[in-house]
Amino acid sequence: MPHVERERWAEEMRKRLAKRMERARPSDDKLAARARSLNDLHFGGRLRWTSIGFAAMSHLWGSCTYTTGAIRIATRAASLPDGVIDYLVVHEMAHLEHSDHGAAFHEMENRYPLTERARGYLMAIDHQVTART
Ligand SMILES: [Zn+2]
């Protein structure tokens, strides 16, 4: 391969790698944008939260502080399929109105069409983790 070609190829690889890393990096902005569209789609845009972002959590996939309206999604969830992340966001958003996992909570959670599938997916991962430790 001529030197010029090689340089161009290396540059192309560098760009692709940078793009891939960009996609892999958990972005709070992207999470906030998803939350906004999920809110519009399933809750008529009525839910209000004070902050949303990724945070290091070893045992939970997400958390919502009912009193302050702060939503956190586990950083390790960032690599999960989009539909599963959306489910986690919907779950925590439903906690903005219900602190428990009662019937009213489930009614909200189930407005997201992939809820059952996402729950199964997370259960399988949690089971793998438990089986390993
Ligand atoms: Zn919950």
pLDDT in tens, 78-126: 999 999 999 999 999 999 999 999 999 999 999 999 999 999 999 999 8
C-alpha 23 to ligand 1 mean position (Å): 27
d(CA 59, CA 103): 24
59's CB contacts (< 8 A; 6+ apart) are none
41, 108 Cβ separation under 8 angstroms: no
12's CB contacts (< 8 A; 6+ apart) are none
C-alpha 5 to ligand 1 mean position (Å): 54
C-alpha 56 to ligand 1 mean position (Å): 17
84's CB contacts (< 8 A; 6+ apart) are 77, 114, 118, 121, 122
C-alpha 66 to ligand 1 mean position (Å): 11
C-alpha 82 to ligand 1 mean position (Å): 19
C-alpha 104 to ligand 1 mean position (Å): 12
Mean pLDDT score, 66-80? 93
* pLDDT > 50? residue 34: yes
Write down the pLDDT at residue 4.
86
Which pTM does this prediction carry? 0.79
C-alpha 27 to ligand 1 mean position (Å): 22
C-alpha 115 to ligand 1 mean position (Å): 13
pLDDT mean across residues, the chain: 91
| Adjacency order of strands within the sheet including 70-74 | 51-55, 70-74, 62-65
C-alpha 30 to ligand 1 mean position (Å): 22
C-alpha 130 to ligand 1 mean position (Å): 19
